[in-house]
Amino acid sequence: MSRLLENDSLDLMAASGVPVPGYRVAASPTEAAAALEELRGKAVIKALVPTGKRGKAGAVSFVSSTEKAESEAARILSLTVRHFPVRRLLVMEALDICREFFLSITFDPTHKSPVILFSPSGGVDIEELVAERPDQLFELPVDITRGLEAYRCIDFAERAGLEPAAALQCGRAIHGLYRMFREHDCRMVEVNPLAELADGKITSGSGVVVLDEQALFRHPDLEKKLGEEQGNGWRPLTKLELVIREIDAINPHASAIRFNELDGDIGFMVSGGGYGLSSLEQLTREGGRPACTFDITPGPFEEKMYRTVKALLGKPGLRGLVLSANVSNFARVDLRVAGIVRALKELDLDYKKFPVVVRYTGPGTEKARELMAEVPDVEWHEGEFTLEDLTRRIVDRAYERNGGEAE
């Protein structure tokens, strides 16, 4: 997930004509107090972290005095919100809200089109509300090749139950938001609440923009904004994940690595999306505790395999390593294995005591088998050994179950 921070999201929204309130970014209590003054003395301070549900984490606070702004800013800056330490704050003009709507745009994989979701009853409990009253969620699928005219947005808002004046403003906001969704290759955009103020004006109470990682090559400016604060989508990167990112960066266009560290004790380098997921499910059924997930796309991967194995085996508390991939069409198994063999030789562990179970098949299997034979006591398997054999074997050996010593 590539979720922009809220200030960057609001910048994009404003540039596309979506109404947004005044806001500033602050990195200290003093800056927060100064921002409050510029925003006419009433503001909401929010943690600037790439994750949602900040309100429920106590990281959103209304302030209307310098003292309160400073103390609340200091408090929120000391928080960690859903694993993300708070480093900066968004100070946003407080709104005199009389009605809250919900607005978002995403892709609907069933209709294979963008879809606009709108509810005349927005707010933090939107999911519960829609579960109880599904008729309060309105959907507008968009033909991406024809685009979306403003009149259709206004009509949509009226059909969702808004009076003409509110529907006009909401329709314009929807129109602007859809333009932004298209121009910046967004995966998802969300405004919750889209707020109607006491004076009848409509503005955005918040802004979430999730970019399409697969389209970042078209948006180098936005890619820069993402930075490393993103983490892996639900928490900041661990030290080991940062090391693996560096390994991946040695040749970013060949053999891309996906790696997530987990808190288990079996090094789990089983690649191939469906194969990796099936193996991971089977490993957990067997009682195995994975220390990571790993995937690598085919390419010249010897060096990346070598460095990743070395880095992973530096993780404390590991009890074994399993290496595999689904049957390969082209990617040479011996290239993968050459990197693994180099790492295992250099590490020079006692592989009777630290089990390493390997299963590959595809072009180059014979050469791979010969290479692996150079490392004593590593278990080598080929196509007849299923993912279930593989996961059972590593669990038996790592946890010494069923007499799981080396054969």
Site for another protein, rule CB under 8 A: 1, 51-53, 102, 104, 106-110, 112-115, 117, 126-127, 130-131, 137, 143-145, 182, 185, 187-188, 190, 192, 208, 210, 212, 214-215, 217-218, 233-234, 272-275, 277-278, 280-282, 284-285, 297, 325-330, 361-363, 383-384, 386-388
Shortest spacing between CB 86 and another protein, in angstroms: 17
The token duo for 78 is 């000391």
- Which is nearer to another protein, 70 or 295 (by Cβ)? 295
Q: Which of 327, 318, 311 is CA-nearest to residue 288?
A: 318
Shortest spacing between CB 325 and another protein, in angstroms: 7
- Which is nearer to another protein, 115 or 150 (by Cβ)? 115
Shortest spacing between CB 71 and another protein, in angstroms: 29
Shortest spacing between CB 41 and another protein, in angstroms: 31
Shortest spacing between CB 244 and another protein, in angstroms: 18
Strands 379-381 and 356-359: parallel
- Which is nearer to another protein, 109 or 316 (by Cβ)? 109
Rounded to whole angstroms, how far apart are CA atoms 200 and 193?
Answer: 15
Shortest spacing between CB 266 and another protein, in angstroms: 15
- Which is nearer to another protein, 70 or 396 (by Cβ)? 396
> CB of 151 within 8 A of CB of 182?
no
Q: Any long-range contacts for 137-142 (C-beta under 8 Å, 24+ apart)? A: 137/102, 139/108, 139/115, 140/115, 140/116, 141/108, 141/111, 141/113, 141/114, 141/115, 141/116, 142/113, 142/114, 142/115, 142/116, 142/178
Shortest spacing between CB 398 and another protein, in angstroms: 19
- Which is nearer to another protein, 29 or 50 (by Cβ)? 50
- Which is nearer to another protein, 164 or 274 (by Cβ)? 274
Shortest spacing between CB 135 and another protein, in angstroms: 14
- Which is nearer to another protein, 115 or 318 (by Cβ)? 115
- 162-189 b/e (C-beta count within 10 Å ≥ 16 → b): beeebbbbbbbbbbbbbbbbbebbbbbb
- Which is nearer to another protein, 29 or 231 (by Cβ)? 231
Strands 292-296 and 266-271: unpaired
Cβ count within 10 A of residue 348: 8
Rounded to whole angstroms, how far apart are CA atoms 82 and 54?
Answer: 8
- 358-388 b/e (C-beta count within 10 Å ≥ 16 → b): bbbbbbbbeebbebbeebeebbbbbeebebe
Shortest spacing between CB 242 and another protein, in angstroms: 19
Shortest spacing between CB 39 and another protein, in angstroms: 26
- Residue 358 CB partners (closer than 8 Å, separation 6+): 322, 323, 324, 337, 340, 372, 378, 379, 380, 381
- Which is nearer to another protein, 29 or 288 (by Cβ)? 288
- Which is nearer to another protein, 72 or 295 (by Cβ)? 295
